[in-house]
Structure 1
């Protein structure tokens, strides 16, 4: 109880089960890259598979709108799906009165993480969504992917 009656204390209790930490914690290699390597990586990012990615609307009036997703197929194939339906297509139709172009999707995309194991990839997507709170993501059913959110 606070010593001053006009003060409130917000208490947040965090619990991390051993199972959750074992699912998520993993050593990853880091390496330094030159500017030319980074440019090559950006160009080849659409050919990557098993990635978690973020799309930011590249319209000048709309840069705050983001979407986070994951794909086990190549990112370029997944982006092609966004051209026809889904949250990104819905956003462009509603806010810009047009369908997204492949250029919109490729230039507004960034690979956040890469993971070959299916379960870990799903967990990474859920973690990025929980942390970044993208406003284009609309969950239609409660998946409760993260054990700590159950």
Structure 2
């Protein structure tokens, strides 16, 4: 329902439902006071979906920006299959194959198994990323831009 632009929308208030809703009702329902604060913002989710994973990582990014000297020691639980899946789908689909020769489409072909395997190796401590060779590229203003090139597995 649309109100006049100069009027506020009516508040939506939770109602205490009646116990016996017959005709006539045995008792009247009474309105409850509205909630205060951030009641509509959930701090936890029952299931970790894309939105909650993204929200959690945004909070970590903000904390890292504001507290630059802070050491984060409890981030391991954020590496879960859903976060790995989100990271995979954020990659460019038409990018060149990686140093292992695998394309985005090849990896996607058996994605669930590969994500489960990667998640397992990370949590067991068995995952070891390939080393990178670091080079610095001069910029026009005299500074240097770091560039990391993953080395081929031997």
Please state which band the TM-score falls in when normalised by the shorter chain. Answer: under 0.3
**Structure whose alpha-carbon radius of gyration is higher:** 2
TM-score by length of 1: 0.22
The alignment's TM-score, normalised by the length of structure 2, stands at 0.21
